[in-house]
Amino acid sequence: SQTIHQWPATLVQPVGSPLSLECTVEGTSNPNLYWYRQAAGRGLQLLFYSVGIGQISSEVPQNLSASRPQDRQFILSSKKLLLSDSGFYLCAWSETSGNNEQFFGPGTRLTVL
Amino acid sequence: DQQVKQNSPSLSVQEGRISILNCDYTNSMFDYFLWYKKYPAEGPTFLISISSIKDKNEDGRFTVFLNKSAKHLSLHIVPSQPGDSAVYFCAASAGGTYKYIFGTGTRLKVLA
């Protein structure tokens, strides 16, 4: 069966510090991968998605970037965090063909102080 | 522009009664819809989906209805249970793409 891992589970970082959140998927090959953010009281906002290694699409202009160095690894980064980057970050994967539900990881709670 | 809207931020229902969660969309190209359930500090879990070729899909206590002319879908939970208390998101995609647009969520509270 497939599983998706995210770490860390929680993170407190000062403004201006760098960020690296990692997501890995097991039990599947060539998945589509996604990064979402849920800000307090808001819905799920799609930040990035990837259909293959090195292929990243950005949905919203922001202070963050994403990379996919391996087939089942997706990394969310920032060089300098802003207060507004605080939120709950979710990684998800889906099969590549047709309409398929997305399966979400446990999430990372990021607080920028 | 919010293409998928859940206009009720919260809903309270007595245990055993029906819960109805609503979702509206504006993009007529959307042809596949999903509902997710999310507990605090956890990732959302998939509940049920519906394709635009159908107007109803049922799975146990959960039924999703789609009204394409009104661009409206709803999730019915019958009977509601306290464990159903969570935030529910609807999501939509167009043309077999892998991008889903999520609504802002509705917090359901089932009262024992």
Which is higher by pLDDT, B69 or B99?
A: B69
- With contacts defined as CB-CB under 8 Å, which chain B residues touch A100? 98
CA of A102, closest CA in chain B: separation in Å? 7
Q: Return all residues near B69 (Cβ < 8 A) that are at least 6 apart.
A: none
Residue A32's pLDDT is what? 92
Token reading at B89 = 């998101």
Q: What is the mean pLDDT of each run of 10 residues along chain A (113 residues)?
A: 90 96 94 89 85 89 90 96 93 81 92 95
Checking if the pLDDT of B109 tops 70, the result is yes
Closest chain A residue by Cα to residue B10: A41
Residue B95's pLDDT is what? 75
- B34 vs A101: CB contact, 8 Å cut-off? yes
- With contacts defined as CB-CB under 8 Å, which chain A residues touch B46? 101-103
Q: How does residue B1 score in pLDDT terms, banded at 50, 70 and 90?
A: low
The span from the first CA to the last CA of chain B, in angstroms, equals 38
Residue A111's pLDDT is what? 95
Interface residue A55 vs chain B (CB under 8 A): no
Residue A41's pLDDT is what? 66
Token reading at B96 = 């077999």
Q: Which range among A99-108, B5-14, B63-72 shows the weakest confidence by mean pLDDT? A: A99-108
- A44 vs B44: CB contact, 8 Å cut-off? yes
- With contacts defined as CB-CB under 8 Å, which chain B residues touch A40? none
pLDDT digits 0-9 by tens, B42-61: 899 999 999 999 999 999 99
Mean confidence (pLDDT) of chain B: 93
Residue A99's pLDDT is what? 64
Residue A31's pLDDT is what? 93
Interface residue A52 vs chain B (CB under 8 A): no
Interface residue A46 vs chain B (CB under 8 A): yes
Which is higher by pLDDT, B5 or B97?
A: B5
